[in-house]
Amino acid sequence: MASVPTASQALQSQATADYVVRVEDLRVEFRTSIGVTYALNGVSLEIPRGKTLGVVGESGCGKSVTGLAILQLVPPPGVVTSGTIGFRSRESRTPVNLLEYERMGPEMRHIRGKSISMIFQEPMTSLNPVYTVGNQISEAVLLHQTGEHKEAKERAIDILRKVGMPNPERIYSNYPHELSGGMRQRAMIAMALSCTPDLLIADEPTTALDVTTEANILDLMRELQQEIGMSIMFVTHNLGVVAQMCDEVAVMYLGRVVEQASVEEIFYDPKHPYTISLLKSIPRLGTNRKEHLEVIRGSVPDPYSRVTGCPFHPRCPSFMPGICDTTMPNVVYMPDSPQHFVRCHLYNDLANHQAVPSGVSNSIGGNGQ
């Protein structure tokens, strides 16, 4: 076991592709009066440049918190207790650790306004109801791009047209509540994309929408991604959306990434029992009609309780007594596909055959607190 690389060593050694954000060993706690809940217990993942990383998991797995933590927007009483978030912008490829910045400091504000944007499930949380849609977009443009009011307005209308608004000049002077759900989502995307960010964090952006609208919004996001060349971190619980939308997928369970791989591998060659079970438990069109769906026993444990060993072991179909309930599994890379890793004791053998990492390091700053 001694030769098994730790998560962060492994990530550093394996990372060869260009990334925008690399999260390492991120831990977030919520300290409430009832007790401490551990939202993230060492999340490590990498968002490839120009591609879409899907982050999937059930409620309470920490997928949304990961997105918020990248922007240092974890709401109180949540605190980031350890980890690094390496960010490489388009211009300067040298990574900076975002956690070293002051939460509300000028650097972080600059990052939030210009380099990393976020959209949410409920657009009204990020649209201010007392300003017109156009006002809010041109405000963002004025802050980060140009000082000219007229130019800002033109840019805003341009962006609104880009996100498929039928009548951008009219929408510009509409208030958010005058728009329908899908339109609001478009307005929020327009705002998020107004300064061509390096990374868009989309937190369940289509969950509240109807399927036909959802399909349109997904189309739109794909088109805009190609045009701007940005990366997307797509947080969702919907495996269908992941399959349609993402290039890479990170599967989370109880505050950890249990498997990350390309979308092909996740759907056609999943390794972690949780991923496998999750895929089998969804009803799929044109297939297993009226048959029993495969279920994962039990439900996600409440966040106050801590499970020993692998957090999935009480529900795992491949549970190995004596191993899974005692030891936390390490990250294991698949020998035949270097970007595919899984956190499961079933693959310990593979890990032992792997070469000890040579310590190649394009490491990023020290541990932020």
Count H helices and E strands in the chain, helices first: 12, 12
Q: Which of 129, 305, 336, 353 binds another protein (CB under 8 A)?
A: 305
Min. distance of Cβ 306 from another protein in angstroms?
Answer: 12
Cβ contact 58:300 at 8 Å: yes
What is the β-pairing status of strands 19-31 and 36-48?
A: antiparallel
- Separation between Cα atoms, residue 207 and residue 185, nearest integer Å: 11
- Work out whether 317 is an interface residue with another protein (CB under 8 A): yes
Q: Which is nearer to another protein, 162 or 271 (CB)?
A: 271
152 within 8 A of 141, measured Cβ to Cβ: yes
Q: How far is CA 246 from the centre of its chain?
A: 11
Least Å from the CB of residue 355 to another protein: 20
Q: Is 96 in the site for another protein (CB under 8 A)?
A: no
Decide: is 176 part of the binding site for another protein (CB under 8 A): no
Judged by CB under 8 A, the stretch of 43-51, 75-83, 213-221, 355-363 that binds another protein is 213-221
Closest of 23, 19, 10, 16 to residue 93, by C-alpha: 19
Please, what is the minimum distance in Å from the beta carbon of residue 224 to another protein? 15
Assess 243 for contact with another protein (CB under 8 A): yes
**Is residue 248 involved in binding another protein (CB under 8 A)?**
no
Among 285, 336, 353, 358, binds another protein (CB under 8 A): 285
Per CB under 8 A, does 241 bind another protein? yes
Task: Indicate the length of the chain as a whole number.
Answer: 369
Nearer to another protein, 73 or 350 (CB): 350
Which CB atom, from 149 or from 297, has the smaller least distance to another protein? 297
Sign, CA dihedral 97-103-105-109, equals: positive
Task: Kindly list the distances between the CA atom of residue 171 and the CA atoms of 157, 181, 188, 233, in Å, as whole numbers in the listed order.
Answer: 9, 14, 12, 28
Taking the least distance from each CB to another protein, the nearer of 65 and 141 is 65
Among candidate residues 200, 21, 50, the one with its CA nearest the CA of residue 112: 200
The only residue of 124, 295, 356, 360 in contact with another protein, by rule CB under 8 A:
295
Angle at 84 between CA 89 and CA 63, to 5 degrees: 90
Q: Which is nearer to another protein, 101 or 253 (CB)?
A: 253
Name the segment binding another protein (CB under 8 A); options: 134-142, 152-160, 169-177, 233-241: 233-241
CA 254 from centre of chain: 15
Nearest to 23 by CA among 79, 82, 85, 72: 85
d(CA 161, CA 117): 19
CA dist 152 and 158 (Å) reads: 10
Selected range binding another protein among 112-120, 135-143, 187-195, 272-280, rule: CB under 8 A = 272-280
Spatial CA neighbour of 113 closest among 148, 140, 76, 91: 140
Which residue shows structure tokens 């918020």? Answer: 68
How far apart are alpha carbons 71 and 80 in whole angstroms? 11
Q: How far is the CB of 43 from another protein (least distance, A)?
A: 19
Q: Does 93 bind another protein (CB under 8 A)?
A: no
Q: Which span (66-74, 100-108, 208-216, 330-338) binds another protein, by CB under 8 A?
A: 208-216
Note whether 17 binds another protein by CB under 8 A. no
Task: Decide if residue 218 touches another protein (CB under 8 A).
Answer: yes
Pick from 180, 337, 367, 369 the residue near another protein by CB under 8 A: 180
Binding of residue 124 to another protein (CB under 8 A): no
How far apart, in whole angstroms, are the C-alpha atoms of residue 10 and residue 62? 22
Least distance between another protein and beta carbon 185 (Å): 11
110 sits near another protein (criterion: CB under 8 A): no
Question: Which positions lie near another protein, rule CB under 8 A?
Answer: 33, 58-59, 166, 180-183, 210-216, 218-219, 237-245, 263-264, 267-271, 273, 276-302, 304-305, 315-318, 320, 346, 349
